[in-house]
Every structure is written in structure tokens, then in C-alpha cells.
Amino acid sequence: MTQNTAVRVRFAPSPTGHIHVGNARTALFNYLFARSMGGTFVLRIEDTDLERSTVASEQLIYEDLKWLGLNWDEGEGKGGAYGPYRQTERFDIYNEATDKLLREGKAYHCFCTKEELEAAREQALKEGRPPLYNGKCKSIPREEAERRIEAGEKPAIRFHADKPNVVVRDLIHGDVEFPTNAFGDFIIVRPDGVPVYNYAVVIDDALMKITHVLRGDDHLPNTPKQVLLFDALGYTTPLFAHIPMILGPDRSKLSKRHGNTSVEQFRSAGYLPEAMINFMALLSWSPEGEDELFNMNELIDRFTLDRVSSSAAVFDFDKLKWMNGMYIRSADINTITALAVPHLMAAGQVTPEFVTGEMERLAKMVASVRDNFEVIGDAPKYMSVYFDEIPEPDEESREILDLPTTRAVLETFLKLIDDYHWLAVDIYKDCAKQVGKDTGAKGKALYMALRVGMTGKTKGPELDLFVPLMPVEKLKERLKRTLERI
């Protein structure tokens, strides 16, 4: 891979809540591209929608990115040579650009009221013309505009879109041509002085020296306006790569009704960041070959823009679960245990005291069942065997209880373990063998009976792992309870 330290990309979220997986995938592609090229990954906060943006949401974005391991090089907490990195702190910069456009006659004040604009729009539609701005304020001389502003009027500022068409050069979609009359003279600064997204983004991308704009292709229709503005302001236009959207399993745009959609929802359901990263990387991107499991470094090694597809990706929730299970199985057991704790606490299975005092035993318990987890949230279901009352026998357990030897097996075992507080695995094995000898029960009649006697179920962790982790007192209670059910 050729190193290109000049590569500068950015992730530019609007702080309106936790990061949606679609945006997280955009952040990931930017990150992978930057890291693979030895470039710079900038984080810019686009908070010009003053009503919807909150400082609290900004924090959520930082948390989500950090959790995913998408560390930025410039922006909040990092500084950088091209700040500030929050749009509401850049109004002076935008104003300067606007003055330049006004001075050069590339933009003009528009005093039209909402009602006037609406009436003109309706008129145009009635006459079968595209509902573009009618240019009413274009010819107002600058001095007159200034006078009206001094007198208290609050105009918007419109960009004079005078080119017939614009070609967007996109690394994923190729050249896409847009006729300018699809939008006409558009507003760049609202009457309240706040620049619109399409305007601020251009100034920021240019002044932050962004070389590649990688973002969702829902922004492709915005790009011709941005290209016009780059030109008008005398800036170099960056290269664009619009990443296809993510669809739900029914092939409609991924949304809440398909299930989890925010990074935070996946985190709290018990998905691991490594699994999320691996899974998201494969949404509209694929490396050469058939392999599907890659850690971040392996992704960085393999990532190239030319392997990003132009077609939408379907978010396969089952595949994500499968992948998450793979990561859960290969992760450090203490990490998995620590992640399971909040779920176990919420299920009332462990107390904070137990967790502090019995961490080692708890980790062994988790180790005995974690191969079953698809998400960490599955922990209480599989840890139930250690912490909950034994369930009423189901059909399979009932069959074991009905075997002629089961009562003798459980009673003999109870007697043999009576003096112990804990059963080390060898002692447990000896006891089980002794029970076999004394009662004549073998195989299923012996081991299934013990299993059902101590867990109430025919399935669960290996008894060699399970038994040494349970206080004998508890096992005895359970065996007695089971005997009552025979």
C-alpha cells in the first residue's frame, strides 16, 4: 500500500443522539482509509441545527466512537491545526467567506418572505415550471440591501447558481451529472445568520484540507451544490466517495422497526466492539478471498476504496450474531465476565458483593457456558443453572427421573458428598463412580440422573466444570428437591 500522509478524511456527525450504525460504518470507512494510507482522521461536530443539536449528544458520539476504537487524530480532545472543530465555533470563518461571495456577486441577499416564496412556488407548479427560486431579489443593488438590513430586515443569503450543470466525480459511483436547474439559486445562510449544511460543510472541508469526502450516498444529491460552492470560493474540490446505504432484511432502508440501529443499542445488548467493527466493515466492502473474520489491524491492511461496492448492503442480524458469538468465544474470559456482570445483576443472579468476592469462581462459571452466547445479554439465560432455583422437570428430565435407578443414584450420591463443603473435580468423579458401583447405574442412567438431580435439566455445562463451582450445601438442597419430584 502506498503511504500518502497527505490523505485527510473526516467524520462529521450532527450531535442529535447516539450514532446510528449507518453513520458508524461511515466513520469506520473513513478511519480504515486514513489508517491504511497513513493519513489523518478528523472529527468535526456539525451542530448548526441549533434546535436538534445538544452537548450531551456530542458526548454520546465521543463515547460510541471510543467504544468502537475509532480514535480520531484531530477534533475534540485532540486539538489540531485546522480548528475549531465544532461548527458553531466557526461562524466568523463562515461570515468571512460569505462577505467574499457577496462582494464578488456570487451570492445575494434575499428578502422574500416565506409567504412570498410559497406563493411563487405554487404559481410555478401551476404553470408547469420547476418550483425554483424566481430570482426576485437577484437584482437588488448591494447598497440597497445593506440599507434594508440596517433598517432591521433580516434577509437570507442565496448562492447564484449560474452554471447549467455540475459533474460530481465520485470514486464509487463514477461521474454523476446534475443539472443546476434541479435546485436553482439556493440559500446558503438563513435569515438568522446560521449557514446551511451544504455551505458550512464546503468551507470546513476546504479549510480543514480534507482530501477525500467519504460519506453516505444519501448526500450524493447535495454534492453538486457543494461542488459549485468549492468552485465559487476558489477552493480545491476534494475527491468524493459516496458509500451505499444499509438496508434491512426486507430491503427497505435500515430503521428502528428492523431492530437495533444505534451503536449504543448493540453495545447494551451485549455485542462486542470487535464484532461490530468486523461486521460493519463488510457492509458494501469486501476484501479479496473468502475469509470473513478480521480484526481492526487486518482490516486496515486490506482496506482499499476500490473494493467498496456501489450497491446497498443488507444488514444481516443473524450474521452479526454469529460473528459476535465467534468473538465472545475467542475473547479473554475476564473481559467476557466483566461484560456479563451488569446483565447478571439486572437478572438478580449476582450481587456486587458476590462479584467482588467471587470473581474467579464467577469467571469459571462464565467460561463453562459462554460458548452458547450470541450476545453477552444471553448470559443470565445460561448462568441460570448456577444461580436460579432448579426448574420444574420438562419432558426429557421427567424421563430421566422415571428411570428405575434414579432415586438410588441421587440418594447414594447425597450420602457420599454429605461431609464436603466443595467437591474438587477428582472427588466428584470418584463419588460418581462409587454411585455407579453401588447402584449398578451406568452411562445415561448415572450421569443424566446426576445432571437432572443437580440442575433440573438434561442440558447444560459439563458436570466436571459445574460441580466444583457449586457449594455442596446448594447441591444437596437441589438433590433433595429433585428427590421430592420423583
* Segment interacting with ligand GLU (CB under 6 A) among 6-14, 32-40, 278-286, 289-297: 6-14
* Segment interacting with ligand GLU (CB under 6 A) among 10-18, 61-69, 248-256, 260-268: 10-18
Q: Which of 138, 219, 361, 457 binds ligand GLU (CB under 6 A)?
A: 219
Compute the least distance from the CB of residue 252 to ligand GLU, in Å: 20
Q: Is the separation of the CB atoms in 39 and 4 below 8 Å?
A: yes
Compute the least distance from the CB of residue 196 to ligand GLU, in Å: 11
Backbone angles phi and psi of 150, in degrees to 5: -60, -35
Q: Which of 8, 13, 82, 275 binds ligand GLU (CB under 6 A)?
A: 13
- How far is Cα 416 from Cα 431, in angstroms, rounded to an integer? 6
- How far is Cα 366 from Cα 387, in angstroms, rounded to an integer? 12
* CA 25, 29, 30, 32 torsion-angle sign: positive
Per rule CB under 6 A, is residue 12 in the interface with ligand GLU?
Answer: yes
* Segment interacting with ligand GLU (CB under 6 A) among 12-20, 144-152, 166-174, 294-302: 12-20
- x/- contact string, 189-218, with ligand GLU (CB under 6 A)? ------------x-------------x---
Q: Which of 7, 8, 9, 14 binds ligand GLU (CB under 6 A)?
A: 14
- x/- contact string, 21-50, with ligand GLU (CB under 6 A)? -------------------------x----
Q: Is the separation of the CB atoms in 132 and 161 below 8 Å?
A: no
Compute the least distance from the CB of residue 213 to ligand GLU, in Å: 6
Q: What angle do CA 265, 269, 273 make, to 5 degrees?
A: 80
Residue closer to ligand GLU, measured from CB, 148 or 219: 219
The grid coordinates listed for 198 are: 451544504
- How far is Cα 243 from Cα 53, in angstroms, rounded to an integer? 24
Compute the least distance from the CB of residue 58 to ligand GLU, in Å: 12
- Going edge to edge, which strands form the sheet with 187-189? 107-110, 156-159, 187-189
Residue closer to ligand GLU, measured from CB, 46 or 374: 46
Q: Is the separation of the CB atoms in 227 and 200 below 8 Å?
A: no
CA distances from 1 to 38, 304, 461 (A): 10, 9, 47
Residues 80-109 interacting with ligand GLU (rule: CB under 6 A): none
Q: What angle do CA 61, 72, 292 make, to 5 degrees?
A: 85
Compute the least distance from the CB of residue 460 to ligand GLU, in Å: 47
What does R_g of the chain's alpha carbons equal in angstroms? 32
- Residues serving a catalytic function are 256
Q: How many residues bind ligand GLU (CB under 6 A)?
A: 7
Q: Cα 157 to the chain's mean position, in Å?
A: 37
- How far is Cα 149 from Cα 151, in angstroms, rounded to an integer? 5
Residue closer to ligand GLU, measured from CB, 43 or 362: 43
Q: Is the separation of the CB atoms in 400 and 448 below 8 Å?
A: yes
Angle between helices 359-369 and 379-387 in degrees, nearest 10: 120
> Cis bond leading into 84, ω under 30°?
yes
* Segment interacting with ligand GLU (CB under 6 A) among 7-15, 268-276, 307-315, 453-461: 7-15
Residue closer to ligand GLU, measured from CB, 52 or 415: 52
Residue closer to ligand GLU, measured from CB, 19 or 376: 19
Compute the least distance from the CB of residue 88 to ligand GLU, in Å: 13
Residue closer to ligand GLU, measured from CB, 12 or 156: 12
- How far is Cα 70 from Cα 438, in angstroms, rounded to an integer? 62
* Segment interacting with ligand GLU (CB under 6 A) among 9-17, 32-40, 148-156, 182-190: 9-17
Residues 427-456 interacting with ligand GLU (rule: CB under 6 A): none
Residues 296-335 interacting with ligand GLU (rule: CB under 6 A): none
The grid coordinates listed for 308 are: 467498496
Residue closer to ligand GLU, measured from CB, 201 or 431: 201
Q: Cα 196 to the chain's mean position, in Å?
A: 27
Residues found near ligand GLU in the complex (CB under 6 A): 12-14, 46, 201, 215, 219
